Amino acid sequence: MTTTIHTETSTSDIAAFKARLDRILALESTRRIIEDAEVTGAFPRSIIELLGREGIFAAKWQDPPVPALEHTLALAERFGRLGAGGVASGVTLHDSAIAMLRRFGRSARLREIADQAIAGKAVLCISATEAGAGSDMLGLSSTAIAEDGGFRLRGHKKMASPSPVADYIVLALRGVEEGHQSRDDLALFLAPTSQLRVGKAFDTVGARSISTAPVHFDTWVPADLMIARPGTGLAVLSWGLSQERFAVAAQIIGACHLALGVTVARMKRRKSFGVALFDHQALRLRIADLQARVDMMRLALNSLVADPAGLNVRSSAAAKVTAVRLGCEVMSECMHIFGSSGVLEMETPLGRWWRDVKMSRVGGGTDEMLWEIVAAGLEPDDANYDRLVHEWQPEDVV
Ligand SMILES: Cc1cc2nc3c(=O)[nH]c(=O)nc-3n(C[C@H](O)[C@H](O)[C@H](O)COP(=O)(O)OP(=O)(O)OC[C@H]3O[C@@H](n4cnc5c(N)ncnc54)[C@H](O)[C@@H]3O)c2cc1C
């Protein structure tokens, strides 16, 4: 069955896209979905259905199938401003899975599922992490073995978000062919969740509503559900993760905007030693420093939007690690400035936001893995070294 994409409600015009998003996110019913998700710790499928129905994904995913970065920035930053890290992450993971299907899904079946996801009729997630391997993706052990014209997928995934409500999961697996197996044989498959066993969602420290859960599988899928054949999976996954990391950086900048604005309001209202907290230079300048860095980070993301060719594995890794670490600093300082209210769950959401942003230092690639990607492109400046550095040598003694 082919799913109709609601193109009549979609638009490539970024101003109209932002206005539509703002309208949807301001709706009382949308706010209630997000607040309920924060309370129950369960990702709301209805948010994907709503965004799909309203043509939000359709506006992003027009032809040609390249991601509209400006739309990604607008979507992720706005979700970040809602202060619900789990929901925001689930939305960007769904969108990043669409990105992979749109760019690399060759079969009619994969394209059809991408259309369903764009229409909000199918929820997607991506899973690579296993109990024995997370950062080291070439150490994964779950396999895809050719069988009866299709593939037998066997193994487990430790974390798939939000698998309890997902219809399909992009699985990173070792593609074993003709008894041959090597570390660089990663393949990607799209597996219907109905064929997998999804475990109970983990109780995470933060971003609770992301609903991350383990999945086990020993199932057969047809060949047309293969997204990337063995040996190409890591490259395709890295491309998809670049989209995800850019979106996470934007989401964090949105969350920082919310936290800093609320904190400045607090500083102007709360008095200490006869004056507003804002009048204490030590506090005011700390917040100004953070706001300045958040503003500069937003400008950096906008410059990637202006030059989409600049978005690659390296720049997206740099954007995510830098934004997330800044986000951790922002949340920690904002929480601190709220004093005791910052640590009381019943009084302020600061503690929840602090925990949410910490999750992003692990999910989507840890700081260290992202710095390794940046390190791989570091170039020595030998010409200036030779010109400027004159280290004393023993033979210089006369
Ligand atoms: C909220 C949340 C949701 C998630 N959702 C998903 C999901 O949907 N799909 C999915 O596939 N995964 C998901 N993950 C898992 C996440 O991608 C992994 O946890 C992450 O990649 C790290 O893998 P690991 O947990 O195995 O840690 P490890 O790889 O064991 O790393 C442990 C620590 O050692 C460091 N380290 C490891 N190797 C090196 C090295 N060579 N040099 C320096 N430091 C190193 C790491 O940076 C880390 O700090 C999620 C995680 C979180 C927190």
In order, the DSSP letters of 199-221 are -PPP--SS-GGG--EEEEEEEEE
According to the model, what pLDDT value does residue 64 have? 62
Distance from residue 78's CA to the centre of ligand 1 (Å) = 26
Task: Choose one of 98, 123, 148: the last residue of a domain.
Answer: 123
> Do 134 and 225 lie in a common domain?
yes
- The residue-averaged pLDDT of 219-241 equals 96
Nearest CA-CA partner of 124 in 164, 93, 87: 93
Task: Choose one of 123, 155, 185: the last residue of a domain.
Answer: 123
Atom of ligand 1 lying closest to residue 162 CA: 8
Does residue 1 lie within any of the structural domains?
no
Does residue 29 lie within any of the structural domains?
yes
- The residue-averaged pLDDT of 139-154 equals 96
Atom of ligand 1 lying closest to residue 366 CA: 47
Distance from residue 270's CA to the centre of ligand 1 (Å) = 40
Full residue range of the structural domain in which residue 40 is found: 7-123
Distance from residue 139's CA to the centre of ligand 1 (Å) = 13
Q: Which residue, by CA, sits nearest to atom 3 of ligand 1?
A: 363
According to the model, what pLDDT value does residue 138 have? 87
Does residue 30 lie within any of the structural domains?
yes
The distance of Cα 316 from the centroid of its chain, to the nearest Å, equals: 11
Distance from residue 135's CA to the centre of ligand 1 (Å) = 5
Atom of ligand 1 lying closest to residue 161 CA: 8
> Do 48 and 100 lie in a common domain?
yes
Atom of ligand 1 lying closest to residue 368 CA: 47
Phi, psi for residue 124 in degrees, rounded to 5: -115, 150
- Residue of higher predicted confidence among 65 and 236: 236
Distance from residue 366's CA to the centre of ligand 1 (Å) = 6
- The residue-averaged pLDDT of 286-299 equals 98
Mean pLDDT of the chain: 93
Q: Provide the number of structural domains found in the chain.
A: 3
Distance from residue 109's CA to the centre of ligand 1 (Å) = 31
> Do 364 and 241 lie in a common domain?
yes
> Do 277 and 149 lie in a common domain?
no
Does residue 372 lie within any of the structural domains?
yes
Whether 85 and 357 have beta carbons less than 8 Å apart is answered as: yes
pLDDT band (50, 70, 90) for residue 6: very low
- Residue of higher predicted confidence among 91 and 67: 91
According to the model, what pLDDT value does residue 395 have? 86
According to the model, what pLDDT value does residue 307 have? 87
Q: Is 281 exposed, middle or buried (0-12, 13-18, 19+ CB in 10 A)?
A: exposed
CATH of the domain at 360: 1.20.140.10
pLDDT band (50, 70, 90) for residue 183: low
Q: Which residue, by CA, sits nearest to atom 23 of ligand 1?
A: 134
CATH of the domain at 105: 1.10.540.10
Does residue 398 lie within any of the structural domains?
no
The yes-or-no verdict on residue 98 having pLDDT over 80 is yes
Task: Choose one of 94, 123, 152: the last residue of a domain.
Answer: 123
pLDDT band (50, 70, 90) for residue 180: low
Ligand 1 pocket test target in 366, 371, 372 with most atoms within 8 Å of CB = 366
CATH of the domain at 131: 2.40.110.10
Distance from residue 45's CA to the centre of ligand 1 (Å) = 25
Which run of H or of E encompasses 395? none
- The residue-averaged pLDDT of 308-333 equals 96
- The residue-averaged pLDDT of 284-303 equals 98
Q: Which residue, by CA, sits nearest to atom 37 of ligand 1?
A: 135
> Do 280 and 316 lie in a common domain?
yes
Q: Which pairing describes strands 168-176 and 186-192: parallel, antiparallel, or unpaired?
A: antiparallel
According to the model, what pLDDT value does residue 182 have? 66
Does residue 101 lie within any of the structural domains?
yes
According to the model, what pLDDT value does residue 221 have? 98
The yes-or-no verdict on residue 131 having pLDDT over 70 is yes
pLDDT band (50, 70, 90) for residue 7: very low
The yes-or-no verdict on residue 385 having pLDDT over 60 is yes
Does residue 153 lie within any of the structural domains?
yes
> Do 272 and 224 lie in a common domain?
no
> Do 40 and 149 lie in a common domain?
no
Atom of ligand 1 lying closest to residue 365 CA: 21
> Do 300 and 316 lie in a common domain?
yes
Q: The tokens of 166 are what? A: 């997902």
Distance, in Å, from the CA atom of 263 to the CA atom of 289, rounded to the nearest integer, reads 14
- The residue-averaged pLDDT of 179-206 equals 90
> Do 116 and 38 lie in a common domain?
yes
- The residue-averaged pLDDT of 117-127 equals 98
Residues with CB under 6 A from ligand 1: 93, 125-129, 134-135, 159-161, 204, 207, 210, 212, 359, 362-363, 365-366, 368-369
Distance from residue 140's CA to the centre of ligand 1 (Å) = 13
> Do 91 and 139 lie in a common domain?
no
